[in-house]
Amino acid sequence: MTRPRFAPIPAALPATVPFVGPEELQRRIGSVFDARIGANESGFGPSPHAIQAMQAELPRLWQYGDSTSHRLVEALSEHLDLPGDHITVGEGVDGLLGNLVRLMVGPGDAVVTSDGAYPTFNYHVAGFGGVLHKVPYRDDAEDPQALVREARRTGAKLVYLANPDNPMGSWHPGKVIQDMLEELPEDTMLVLDEAYVEFAPAEAVPQISPGDPRVIRMRTFSKAYGLAGARIGYAVGDPDLIAGFDRIRNHFGVNRIAQAGALAALRDQAWLADVLANVAAARDRIGKIAADNGMRALTSATNFVAVDTGRDGEYSRALVQALQGQGVFIRMPGVAPLDRCVRISCAPAPELDVLADRLPRAMALIG
């Protein structure tokens, strides 16, 4: 029987996804995780005001959400002190990255990233026919100078950099990012992923004009604001670039419940401050648990900690699997030498108690 054929680009791609979700892992092992500390979600939850606002929207669920997220854009405009035409709202950073790549990258266009950096960006580039060029990390951090050199060599349309970084939790001072921007080719755009910016020190935030056409900055309500399941984030950039998103985005892709929750969460900065304090305490706790088990926590400016096992990627993979068998979900970087580490999300004390109890058991199992 003749079957309809995929288009050439997806037909040539492997049938893989960037991440295997914790729900799928739970189905595989046949039980629910006692400590879900692998996806960098906020176990501290969203603001109660956000929950209340989302609940209030339920009777209107029959209505599509505002296609422009107008009230949220207005609030972000006030919060960031910049005009609303510099802002677009999308289905989390993942959705925004997909729309950006669709808007900017054609088949064969060069795109530069770091080997081991956020894989969902790579997934989008491959899906639209772009050609990825990767540079290695340096000292457990993305290497801005190497990214610049590779952009010059390849004539890249886009260069991706996360600051703070996932999966290592490292960060660069804002001045480093500013200098990097000046050294990129004029027709190369810097994609600055700031999903973890709320956790970072103030000096990590570059002072870049929101109207600079050479850069787009992406942020999310998934991490510090605790709304990962709502899938909502925003991008900041030059108004002409932001207007370009209207050409290709799903105009009703951000639902009204997510919009209401994000708006209420943004207004509750006191809750955000509490979350940041809880995350800082959890980072310290994870560091102690690591040290108690002969491992070393890397300095982090995010809501997770990369823990150096002192071994290699094979050992880290075995440890991740052993912990899953013990009811603990964590993840790890995907390439050497980063894969000597495991990555543990910050969480409330009861989940970290589970980690402290079961980590030595898992280590004993793999020897």
Peptide bond into 337 cis (omega under 30): yes
Q: Kindly tell me if the per-residue pLDDT of 42 is higher than 80.
A: yes
pLDDT tens per residue across span 210-229: 999 999 999 999 999 999 99
Helices (H), the chain: 8-11, 22-29, 48-57, 70-80, 92-104, 119-127, 144-154, 174-183, 239-244, 256-267, 269-292, 313-325, 349-366
Radius of gyration over every alpha carbon of the chain, rounded to an integer in angstroms: 21
Instruction: Give the per-residue pLDDT at 2.
Output: 81
Q: pTM above 0.85?
A: yes
Strands 233-236 and 215-220: antiparallel
In Å, how far are 21, 150, 235, 364 from 218, measured between CA atoms? 23, 22, 4, 41
Residue 340: band (very low, low, confident or very high) from pLDDT cuts 50, 70, 90: very high
Please write the tens of the pLDDT for every residue from 86-137.
999 999 999 999 999 999 999 999 999 999 999 999 999 999 999 999 999 9
Label residue 56 by pLDDT band (50, 70, 90).
very high
Question: Whole-angstrom Cα distance, residue 198 to residue 43?
Answer: 16
Percent of the chain with pLDDT over 90: 96
Contact 310, 287 (CB under 8 A): no
Instruction: Tell me what pLDDT residue 15 has.
Output: 84
Torsion angles phi and psi, residue 270, rounded to 5: -65, -40
SS3 of 40, please? Answer: coil
**Looking at the predicted structure, is the pLDDT value of residue 350 above 80?**
yes
Alpha carbons 90 and 170: distance in angstroms, whole number: 26
**pLDDT above 90 for 248:** yes
Q: Is residue 1 predicted with pLDDT exceeding 80?
A: no
Mean pLDDT score, 230-243 = 98
- Report the pLDDT value the prediction gives residue 355, as an integer from 0 to 100: 98
**Mean pLDDT (the chain, rounded):** 97
243-263: average pLDDT: 97
> In CATH, what is the architecture of 48-267?
3-Layer(aba) Sandwich (3.40)
In 282-356, at which residue ranges do the beta strands (DSSP E only) sit? 296-297, 304-308, 328-329, 341-345
Do domains 19-45+270-366 and 48-267 share one topology? The answer is no
Domain-wise residue ranges, the chain: 19-45+270-366, 48-267
What is the amino acid identity at position 23?
E
pLDDT of residue 60: 97
pLDDT at residue 18 tops 90: no
**Quick one: pLDDT band at residue 3, thresholds 50, 70, 90?**
confident
Using the predicted structure, report yes or no on whether residue 232 has a pLDDT greater than 80. yes
Residue whose C-alpha is closest to residue 159's, from 187, 129, 189: 189
- Decide which of 3.90.1150.10, 3.30.470.20, 3.40.630.30, 3.40.50.720 is the CATH code for 19-45+270-366: 3.90.1150.10
DSSP letters, 233-266, are EEEE--HHHHHHGGGTS-TT-S-HHHHHHHHHHH
| Residue 17 pLDDT | 78
